[in-house]
Amino acid sequence: MLTGAAGGIGAAIARELLAQGATVHGVDRDPDGLSALAQEFPGRFIPYCADLADRSATDRMLGQLDTALAGRCDILVNNAGVARVQAFVSSEDALLDRLLAVNFMAVFRVTRALVPALRASRRASVINIASELALVGQPGYTAYSATKGAILAFSRALATELAAEGIRVNAVCPGPIDTPMLAGEFKLADDPVAARAGEIASVPLGRLGVPGDIAGVVAFLASDAAGFVTGAAWPVDGGKTAR
């Protein structure tokens, strides 16, 4: 099961898992993106349209998903997330509420609902998509960083709680990934071209990441090759947080 499945990193994760032979139940609030994947992979990508900030919509989706999964889930990828650049002193409660609802509360509630199905798997893996900004600070991202930091703490605690049942829990911390979300952030800068160039210059590998960079690590963490890996945070950032 994959949240935030319709675009950017999520669509790359969906395609990678599908390439590995998985059936992917994908949730997103973008019906067009979901439809495109469902048409590309008929019968193997199962779409669910829901805004995970809406608890009622999430509960309805979880009810549908429970029936479709028939009691078993091998992989859960909590990828859905939202970001917004805003100075701390001018930040609004509505912004914090939205970021918490999608970036943390949805992860908590979806994972809790799927624990019974994860228990039925012999090799269940939960992968939570956090951020480099859960590891380092950056101006304008206080609310976003707080929600992604919560994901790391949640992942570590849950890994210890579910380990005895054979359920592994890990987090992936993407750096700057070339997606529409990042492009939108560049557009907010006084000089978008300079902002993009500056971001690239901050990465030791000298480029922005691509969604496939994240998808490959997620597929590894979902696989038996990572069978002894749990409670870890995996930076996938071209070395940016190593500085």
Q: Can you name the residues that pair with 169 across neighbouring β-strands?
A: 126
Residue 140 gets the label, from left (phi > 0), alpha (psi -120 to 50) or beta, of: left
Catalytic residue of the set 104, 144, 154, 234: 144
Tokens of 41: 């992979």
Q: Beta strands 75-78 and 125-129: pairing type?
A: parallel
Tell me the C-alpha to C-alpha distance, in Å, between residue 95 and each of 16, 117, 139, 149, 176. Answer: 32, 33, 16, 17, 22
Q: Beta strands 24-28 and 125-129: pairing type?
A: unpaired
In the residue annotation, 144 being an active-site residue is answered as yes
Active site positions, annotated: 144
